[in-house]
């Protein structure tokens, strides 16, 4: 590279992917995966000082000023699906809560972020503002949480003139993804997730949240065959869950169309592929209030719960591993072991019953981070004191 050349974001991502690829391709099975501290905090409700709690957690993991000062920061939210549990807002159950999002924006702005973009895909072809309003959010307050806060609906091309192609360093399913430009045109990437179980994948945490970065215009059931369908409204069942068709021909096809076609194999691997292609700089998992037994009100048996917790870390795999332990599960559990003991039938062979694979172990295997609790420093509240047993609560064993 000549000394006068300034590296663009696209070139930086490509270079980062290349370096990760070397790590992923050559990493021995017993090599140490990246590790960074994780903070656990108790927060009894959204009426408490969520901002002060999160600020203390960010300090416990080393602070964020050097990470975000003068930078563009994109924040991927978790606003999965519609519907409500009777008597509760979406933010109390299956969406991240606006108080948590507002606190994050405020602290990013206070730390010197130049620009903040709140990003999420919607199935209903609606704007982010409309999505927020549907959930009862105060859009004006959210815009004013930091000096410059913008919204981007990433289920389609959105405000960009093109899609960005982000490469997977060591892919499981897809070699690259075509995504909304904000996932590339940013300096820092933050993911805010809800602490939840998942009907098909066991858990919904940071890695699973990355599934929503794939635009429905290209990966949805009504995606265009040749080009993206910018009016797409459907979910990603046919392409991503079941592999019954390929994405729009404008985007890279999967590596092996003869690989396993069931959800518990495909979805965890696609989540890891997206997390590898778009590296995560900060993971925030919100469990002040949530739901147990599934990822939303459409899951039979799912219900509201109050764990009263927030978990924050710089490494997504480490943060998910600590959260998994807090939820009463083993972050090193294999497929077929709780919480990855969900079962469903293969869409190729209906007589073949399958279970879900653990995305944390899949991510660890390609060098994204460690899921070994013995190697992860935990700040704030110890895991044993923060534990909220999701399965026990779901079955009524603890009230």
**How many residues appear in the chain?**
399
Q: Residue 397, Cβ neighbours under 10 Å: how many?
A: 9
CB 290 within 8 A of CB 307: yes
How much is the pTM? 0.91
Low-confidence ranges of the chain (pLDDT < 70): 1-31, 343-353, 398-399
Check residue 348 and give its pLDDT: 54
Q: Give residue 392's Cα distance to chain centre.
A: 25
SS3 197: strand
Beta bridge pairs of residue 313? 38, 283
Check residue 25 and give its pLDDT: 32
**CA–CA distance, 113 with 90 (Å, rounded to integer):** 28
**CA–CA distance, 197 with 168 (Å, rounded to integer):** 26
The closest of 198, 245, 186, 202 to 221, measured between CA atoms, is: 245
Rg (CA), the chain: 20
**CA–CA distance, 227 with 352 (Å, rounded to integer):** 34
* DSSP classification of residue 319: H
Question: Which residues have C-beta within 8 Å of that of residue 164, sequence separation ≥ 6?
Answer: 10, 178, 179, 180, 181, 183, 184, 185
Q: What are phi and psi of 139, to 5 degrees?
A: -65, -40
CB 85 within 8 A of CB 304: yes
**Residue 170 tokens, joined:** 């060591």
**CA–CA distance, 265 with 73 (Å, rounded to integer):** 32
Check residue 217 and give its pLDDT: 97
Q: Residue 143, Cβ neighbours under 10 Å: how many?
A: 17
Burial 101-116 (b: 16+ CB within 10 A, else e): bbbbbbbbbebebbbb
Give one DSSP letter per residue of 5-55, joined into a string. Answer: PPPPHHHHHHHHHHHHHHHHHH--TTSPPP---EEEEE---TTS-HHHHHH
Check residue 9 and give its pLDDT: 43
Check residue 298 and give its pLDDT: 93
CB 27 within 8 A of CB 363: no
**CA–CA distance, 179 with 173 (Å, rounded to integer):** 16
Cα separations (Å) of 16 from 35, 169, 206, 234? 18, 9, 20, 32
């Amino acid at each position: 590279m000549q000394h006068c050349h300034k590296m663009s974001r696209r070139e930086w991502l490509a270079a980062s992917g290349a370096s990760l690829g070397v790590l992923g391709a050559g990493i021995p099975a017993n090599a140490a995966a990246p590790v960074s501290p994780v903070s656990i905090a108790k927060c009894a409700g959204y009426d408490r000082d969520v901002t002060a709690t999160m600020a203390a957690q960010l300090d416990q993991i080393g602070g964020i000023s050097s990470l975000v000062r003068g930078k563009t920061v994109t924040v991927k939210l978790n606003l999965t699906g519609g519907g409500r549990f009777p008597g509760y807002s979406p933010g109390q159950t299956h969406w991240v809560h606006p108080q948590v999002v507002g606190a994050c924006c405020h602290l990013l702005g206070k730390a010197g972020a130049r620009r903040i973009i709140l990003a999420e895909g919607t199935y209903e072809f609606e704007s982010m503002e409309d999505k927020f309003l549907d959930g009862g959010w105060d859009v004006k307050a959210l815009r004013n949480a930091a000096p410059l806060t913008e919204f981007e609906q990433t289920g389609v091309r959105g405000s960009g003139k093109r899609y960005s192609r982000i490469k997977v360093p060591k892919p499981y399913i897809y070699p690259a993804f075509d995504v909304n430009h904000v996932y590339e045109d940013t300096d820092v990437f933050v993911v805010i997730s809800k602490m939840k179980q998942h009907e098909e994948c066991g858990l919904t945490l940071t890695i699973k949240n990355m599934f929503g970065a794939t635009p429905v215009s290209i990966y949805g059931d009504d995606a265009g065959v040749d080009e993206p369908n910018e009016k797409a409204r459907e979910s990603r069942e046919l392409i991503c869950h079941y592999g019954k068709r390929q994405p729009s021909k404008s985007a890279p096809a999967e590596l092996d169309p003869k690989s396993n076609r069931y959800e518990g194999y495909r979805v965890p691997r696609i989540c890891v592929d997206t997390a590898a292609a778009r590296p995560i700089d900060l993971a925030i998992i919100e469990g002040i209030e949530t739901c147990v037994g599934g990822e939303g009100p459409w899951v039979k048996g799912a219900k509201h719960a109050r764990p009263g917790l927030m978990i924050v870390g710089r490494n997504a795999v480490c943060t998910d591993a600590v959260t998994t332990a807090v939820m009463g599960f083993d972050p090193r559990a294999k497929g077929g072991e709780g919480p990855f003991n969900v079962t469903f039938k293969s869409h190729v062979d209906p007589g073949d019953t399958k279970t879900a694979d653990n995305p944390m172990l899949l991510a660890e295997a390609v060098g994204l981070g460690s899921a070994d609790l013995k190697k992860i420093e935990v700040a704030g509240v110890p895991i044993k004191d923060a534990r909220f047993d999701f399965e026990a609560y779901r079955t009524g064993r603890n009230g």
